[in-house]
Amino acid sequence: MPELIVILVVALIVLGPQRLPEVARQLGKAMAEFRRQTSDVLEEFQHQALLDEERERRAATPPAAASAAPAEPPADKPAAGRA
């Protein structure tokens, strides 16, 4: 806390009382934009990580699960060759 007070006093002396609020406002806007951009990048990384995990899961799944489907058509529909 004492360090923050020293920084604020130095900023007040260097910038003056008229310019300090303007500089603080610009700094606040810059920080908000930085946080927004950082959040966007973080979301993109997380999305890509989820996609990579999904690809790994699909690659690790044996293709036997796909061949477990019935080879014959359902009984309620006749096959194309039968009459």
> What pLDDT, in 10s, does the model give residues 18-72?
998 999 899 999 999 999 999 999 999 999 999 999 998 988 887 665 555 555 5
Q: Cα-flanking dihedrals φ and ψ of residue 58, to 5°?
A: -65, -35
| pLDDT, tens digit, 9 for 90 and up, residues 5-30 | 898 889 888 888 899 899 989 999 99
Strand ranges for the chain from DSSP E: none
- Residue with the two structure tokens 């194309």: 80
| Spatial separation of the C-alpha atoms in residues 66 and 78, rounded to whole Å | 23
How many angstroms separate the most distant Cα atoms in the chain? 98
Q: How far is CA 35 from the centre of its chain?
A: 13
Query: Which DSSP helix (H) or strand (E) runs through 23?
Result: helix 20-60
pTM over 0.75: no
